[in-house]
Structure 1
């Protein structure tokens, strides 16, 4: 389908939104008029008119939203040719190979994505300024050949006029989805008002000593929900009509990339990106935001720079991820075809002998990687985050973060101990409970499954023990951290490991063994007390209250245990 026909189709679909709305308004008016002619009068007719106006207003609001939403482009660092000459040279070279006009702007972003856009005019019929957005994580994780393939794919969209026509399509999608959101918002507000009215009525009944009323909004807001479903039908048709073409455009851009940069580079780039995306999400969660709980940020440039270090340390994990493509089914409204289908099509192409091109890292296309990563932070991070103090290194960031987390720990054991002792949950309080032979009574206050709550004796202890182990260990580590006797071993490839400062006699403490002894069938707290520097108590005897064979053991379902 040519550019003119695609523009006409997009325009017809956009016009269909307004025609659809006019038909709905006409239907609402027809219902009101017919009921009025049938004899509906007085308050009933007034209520009908008010309801019709409430339903019609979101439709009219949809008509008024004629402007394509702004602010959808990723925030990033715009780089000039003077800033990044090699990157600009590569982009222009690939644009010539695709036989299209090069972008006038290159913007580096902080996500695993590359995209092109065009500020076209006259409904996409006339070209406009072009922009290329390139995610720095792609530059960090891809080879030069793979990144050239990604760039060639994006520039291929220009050669098919895909970007010029995107404005009409995006505008239509936004109109439909905004109108649906309006109806759903109105339905929610109506239901909330009805729920509040019923709750107030129920509260008055309780105050009078009566049974509370049922607080169920029932069919409140049903007219708005119905209209949202009606528009949802048009939305599904709109997406089906536009996304089929979008997927064909993706296949065409893949083919252009393979022709220009080689079959192997294109296929390997497609295999690499899902793993990079998953790794980046993991990095943001476990590393980049590690110090936020301690109001501390990574060193300057390391918010994005650390991702490259993690990739290098976890190369074996990434290798297994690229070998096994994602198998989950994509949404029927996803503009991109399934990644496995795209890879299959590229790998089915005949070998082109271009297996040894561009093996170097894509980061070589940047003039000064460290400078770029630091500058990217200045434009991507929000002011409140960017103004936080910077750690001297990742080790300091980890130590500070773990200290805050341990001091604010709130495990099921913490909560159960607070309820049991009616006092703040401390390790000293927990040790006293254990030494008084009350550990398994405390365990009855933990959140338990139905099976665990119904268990007796040893079976109950085995159900409760994992939760106890985690809570007691957290308390012990918090105590050691407060005494400055705990450090953490930072790693890009493994979870952070705690390291306890040696005891006075030079022996290396074993936290795991001390915690396990404290929650054994016959609890022994001496090792744990020695670890945290407390006086050694006398261990409870097997015949003391609360021991495994005592009448206080949970040989019946724990009272108050939750499922």
Structure 2
């Protein structure tokens, strides 16, 4: 019933927009016919301002079509993946997809157009989840097919897109805006029911343990993927080389420091997730709790890495998804090519922060400021006014630790006292002339976190050969 109500309200939004625009335009024509040019002109301006955004968005959406993206995973080249997909589709009581795509982003989705069903599976999920967890994700998405959630006519798709475009910029007349938000409220309620249904399918098909673990892990894997892109893939882009990107992310996730951090992040993200009546998905914590009452707890979890379901993903497919180009190279070669420039950029950023804050541009100036407890002077006022003091402090510690560690690395590398080596656990390892390894972030973090540790960190940096301290 709510689905029908949502569609009626969606149509009513555009009827209301046309009625407002048409009515005001008719009034403008009437004023023009009476010789009131100024009044007619003002009415036309108001008509365009009130109904124009919705009508323009509708015109744009008329030509919009959902299109498959990413890398196509054919049955012939990836039979193991398709075997699982088709098995889960049978368990969900539905016809499986006709086209499976590997896409960027820690997400999975299903949709259909003109009877053709598409499944898009995020590369980070394939690399970061186990087979059991990945089966749960696939079963959840196939549950949307089984529940009839993807049977949306192209006209409805375009109408929803037009509504989203209309809402951008908050320039809409109050009545239209209120109607749009009321529609969003009804549609979100229906969507949350769809998600609960799909979760039940995931538990029934893949087991409760795998389903709960998948829900908790997707968020941290997404965070890890973003960090991997910023700190590692960016090195490849800067070097103009193509390292083994999928293997790199697996190495990133398998590092002991990352394993511990991601496990700790699971509950943190679930507990911090906000809840709103306008959300299309229930909070992860609520979905995980709801699964406790469902059957399927006796299904063993397949612990094999999810990427074992893929026979082989061509490196050029992954590199095209991530926007990486250039000749093939190892990760060590990438670090040798772009690592020095990377740490130099961060060192320049720290100097800029010291200059703007008037703390001073040299490392010794920064350490002196940290010793005086002036950490927040280096980072400035927080952008997010809703952040707690603890969150602001932790963000400042993370930022300044990264900048200071890179600045130290730059000093040692540029002076020839150390070289850079890849470290999947965080930034680089500094290899000194005598073969000793130095991890710059753990080295400087105590001074950033606690002013009492500044003298000790300063002494250790001097012993390594960092000048001017």
Q: For the superposition of Structure 1 and Structure 2, which TM-score range results when normalised by the shorter chain?
A: 0.7 to 0.9
In structure 2, the CA distance between the partners of 1:27 and 1:490, relative to structure 1 (3 Å rule), is same
Matches within 5 A, 1:443-482: 477-478=409-410, 480-482=412-414
2 CA distance for matches of 1:113 and 1:485? 44
* 3-state secondary structure, aligned to 2:151: helix
1 CA distance for matches of 2:467 and 2:218? 51
Q: Deviations over 1:89-123 (max 9, x none)?
A: 11111111212112111111232111111114xxx
* Bigger radius of gyration: 1
2:234 is matched with which residue: 269, 289, 292?
Answer: 289
Q: Deviations over 1:435-485 (max 9, x none)?
A: xxxxxxxx9xx97989xxxxxxxxxxxxxxxx9999998777545433443
2 CA distance for matches of 1:263 and 1:528? 55
1 CA distance for matches of 2:317 and 2:23? 53
In structure 2, the CA distance between the partners of 1:253 and 1:406, relative to structure 1 (3 Å rule), is closer
Unaligned segments of structure 1, at least 5 residues: 121-127, 185-224, 434-442, 451-466, 540-563
Match of 1:376 in 2: 317
In structure 2, the CA distance between the partners of 1:532 and 1:258, relative to structure 1 (3 Å rule), is closer
1:140 is matched with which residue: 123, 127, 131?
Answer: 127
The Cα RMSD (Å) is: 4.3
TM-score by length of 2: 0.75
1 CA distance for matches of 2:90 and 2:141? 13
Match of 1:206 in 2: none
2 CA distance for matches of 1:253 and 1:412? 48
In structure 2, the CA distance between the partners of 1:92 and 1:239, relative to structure 1 (3 Å rule), is same
Match of 1:316 in 2: 260
Match of 1:103 in 2: 97
2:109 is matched with which residue: 97, 104, 115?
Answer: 115
How many residue pairs were aligned? Answer: 422
* 3-state secondary structure, aligned to 2:348: coil
Contact 1:17 1:172 in 2 (8 A): no
Residue 253, structure 1, aligned to residue 185, structure 2: no
Matches within 5 A, 1:358-377: 358-368=302-312, 372=313, 374-377=315-318
Unaligned segments of structure 2, at least 5 residues: 366-373, 382-398, 448-453
In structure 2, the CA distance between the partners of 1:50 and 1:403, relative to structure 1 (3 Å rule), is same
2 CA distance for matches of 1:491 and 1:131? 38
Match of 1:268 in 2: 213
Contact 1:426 1:475 in 2 (8 A): no
Match of 1:397 in 2: 334
Larger helix fraction of residues: 2
Contact 1:413 1:471 in 2 (8 A): no
TM-score by length of 1: 0.63
1 CA distance for matches of 2:405 and 2:194? 55
Residue 386, structure 1, aligned to residue 329, structure 2: no
- 1:376 Cα offset (Å): 2.4
1 CA distance for matches of 2:315 and 2:219? 26
- 1:174 Cα offset (Å): 1.4
Contact 1:10 1:168 in 2 (8 A): no
Q: Deviations over 1:511-534 (max 9, x none)?
A: 98xx9xxxx99xx99x97994799
1 CA distance for matches of 2:90 and 2:403? 62
